[in-house]
Amino acid sequence: MKNIVELKTITCRGKRPGPKLLITGGVHGDEFEPMVAIRRLAKRLHKEDLTGTVTMVPVVNEEAFLLCSRTASDGLDLARTCPGNVNGSITERVAHQLSNLIQEADYYIDLHTGGTTMSIYPLAGYMLDVDLKVRDAQHNMARAFNLPLVWGTDPNLDGRSLSVARDAGIPAIYVEYHGAAVCDPSGVDAMVEGCLNTMNHLQMLTRPEPVPSVLYDVQETRSDSGFFQRSHLSPCDGYFETDRLIGNFINRGELLGTVVDPLGETRVDIPAETTGLINCLRTFPSVRKNDSLGYIVETGKNSNE
């Protein structure tokens, strides 16, 4: 049997009993704002003010972080490997420990970014769970986090942290905020504030309601909605050029970008697959065939409105 992986956690136990909230970052090793935000959040929490318990994991996928990589040395995506295997590879063992923590929680927030290669419009997402009570709890948590996009998507995706929460009936949301291989201070601030806002909503602490920032509240029911890696796949290896920006609208068929060869002689246009808000766009120009180049959320508006 291989060694059990210990996840490094920070726990704040409130003076008053109440719900157990789990907050994780660094499920992917190249997503930095969540790691900083969770450490900062831990310093903002005081047991005198807190009802319930908050368990925080700033860097779930520590080996991936040390490798400066999305994934650990076995190449498995942790967010496709849950619930993992206690005797498996490094990512499978981390997934097992993470899944145990999720199953012990009453509520769960998983913080992400677009990592090294993508940038993502700030959003709080959740699975359109078949259990309406859980779905409503998730929707309300996502709205309370107070980022511009609230996004309900396909509940049938497996292997993710949220899949574990779904199977355990635990209300859970995930958050995305930019990425592109930097640590954006505005993302750190938004994640700290968002966690506090959601805790306020869960009556774990008391703070003034923020000025509402939700601009779009979208439920995409089609299968694979929310699956960035299955949208706008590059047809070939090359260099991805785009002048689009996340947060802007695009109409179906308009140019999302172009994949070109090293001399620029062969150019393959990538048309928008649908009409809506660009909420994810590749920022790392080097692409391999079948890498995702972007994602468009069907918000019901087009770029001319």
CB 190, min distance to Zn ion, A: 16
Alpha-carbon distance of 176 to 112, in angstroms, equals: 5
CB 121, min distance to Zn ion, A: 14
Q: Please compute, for residue 65, the number of CA atoms within 13 A of its CA located in the half-sphere on the CB side.
A: 14
Q: Where are the alpha helices (DSSP H) in 8-54?
A: 33-44
Which two tokens mark 196?
A: 């506090």
Which two tokens mark 299?
A: 């918000």
Q: Which residue, 23 or 202, has its beta carbon nearer to Zn ion?
A: 23
Q: Which residue, 116 or 299, has its beta carbon nearer to Zn ion?
A: 116
CB 70, min distance to Zn ion, A: 7
When CB distances to Zn ion are compared, the closest residue is: 112
Which residue in 207, 160, 225 sits closest to 28, CA to CA? 160
CB 114, min distance to Zn ion, A: 8
CB 254, min distance to Zn ion, A: 28
Classified as helix, coil or strand, 192 is helix
Q: Which residue, 80 or 201, has its beta carbon nearer to Zn ion?
A: 80
Which residue in 53, 48, 62, 61 sits closest to 11, CA to CA? 53
Q: Which residues bind to Zn ion, rule: CB under 5 A?
A: 28, 31, 112
Q: Which residue, 195 or 259, has its beta carbon nearer to Zn ion?
A: 195
Cβ burial of 199 (10 Å; 0-12, 13-18, 19+) is buried
Amino acid at 161: S
Q: Which residue, 52 or 83, has its beta carbon nearer to Zn ion?
A: 83
